[in-house]
Amino acid sequence: MKQVVVILIAVSVVLTGAYLVITAYDDNLSVGRMWQTPAIRPHEEPIPVMTAGIIPFNGGEVLTRTARAEELISPLSGTSAFDFKRGETGYTRYCSHCHGKNHDGNGTVGQSFHPLPGDLRSPKVQALSDGALFHEISYGKPDGRQPPLATTVSMSDRWQIIAYLKSLGARP
């Protein structure tokens, strides 16, 4: 029992000594652990003036969102095989889960929606303008389950997906 008491006293003396040494180090030396730290002053330098031409006045997501669907015109030629291939890739990545690999609205995820996703090759959808399709893909469909994809899919990818869908034509 005496040995345990002696060990406890020795441990407490060592810990107290270590505490006193660390406290003296911090209090008396300028290089102490947290004695003095540099202050961060982010606004000491004047804020630089914004370079002209950074804010877009022609194009940009805000302008397409506020424009009427009838006013939007695809920047793509509509005949580029590259755009069709990129559109097919984008469709597979972002749209096929709901609209299906055959564009008929029978995707695995879409079957849990009400109303069900539409057939993208139907005459009704194929008759929509590119701008109307762009608005539905980008900002959602208020009375349907089309989620807004403007923050998920880049603007050029959305136009390429539309070009791909239009190239398929209406289902016979």
Is the pLDDT assigned to residue 42 strictly greater than 70? no
Asked whether the beta carbons of 121 and 55 are under 8 A apart, the reply is no
Cβ contacts of residue 67 below 8 Å, gap of 6+?
A: 131
Placement of tokens 């807004």 in the chain: 148
Q: Whole-model pTM above 0.75? A: no
Is the pLDDT assigned to residue 29 strictly greater than 80? no
- What digits encode the pLDDT tens for the residues 91-110? 999 999 999 999 999 888 88
> Quick one: which of 80, 62, 171, 67 has its CA closest to 129?
67
Between these two residues, 9 and 38, which has the higher pLDDT value?
Answer: 9
Is the pLDDT assigned to residue 48 strictly greater than 80? no
Neighbours of 95 (CB within 10 A): 24
- State whether the Cα torsion 8-12-13-18 is positive or negative: positive
Task: Please state which of the ranges 12-26, 39-53, 67-81 shows the lowest mean pLDDT.
Answer: 39-53
- Specify the CATH number for 62-168; select among 1.10.760.10, 1.10.10.10, 3.30.160.100, 1.10.10.350: 1.10.760.10
- What digits encode the pLDDT tens for the residues 55-90? 666 667 877 888 888 888 888 877 888 999 999 999
Residue 112 has what DSSP assignment?
G
- What digits encode the pLDDT tens for the residues 118-168? 899 999 999 999 999 999 999 988 777 788 999 899 999 999 999 999 999
> Which residue type is seen at 108?
T
Is the pLDDT assigned to residue 24 strictly greater than 70? yes
